[in-house]
Amino acid sequence: MTSHIKISPSILSADILNLGAEVQAVAAAGADWIHVDVMDGRYVPNITYGPHLVAALRRFTDLPLDVHLMISPAQPHIKAFAEAGANLITVHPDADTHIHRVLCEIKSYGIKAGIALNPGVPITAIETLVPFIDLILVMTVNPGFGGQAYIPEMTNKIRQVRHLINHSGREIELEVDGGINLETAPSAIAAGATALVAGAAIYGAADKDYQSKITALRGK
Residues labelled catalytic = 37, 177
Secondary structure (3-state) at 74? coil
DSSP 16: G
Sign of CA dihedral 121, 122, 123, 124: negative
What does the alpha-carbon distance between residue 78 and residue 195 come to, in Å, rounded to a whole number? 23
Q: Determine how β-strand 65-70 pairs with β-strand 34-39.
A: parallel
Q: Where are the alpha helices (DSSP H) in 16-153?
A: 19-28, 51-58, 78-84, 99-108
What does the alpha-carbon distance between residue 132 and residue 104 come to, in Å, rounded to a whole number? 7
Question: CB–CB of 119/141 below 8 Å?
Answer: yes
Question: CB–CB of 57/48 below 8 Å?
Answer: no
What does the alpha-carbon distance between residue 26 and residue 35 come to, in Å, rounded to a whole number? 11
DSSP 148: P
Residues in the chain: 220
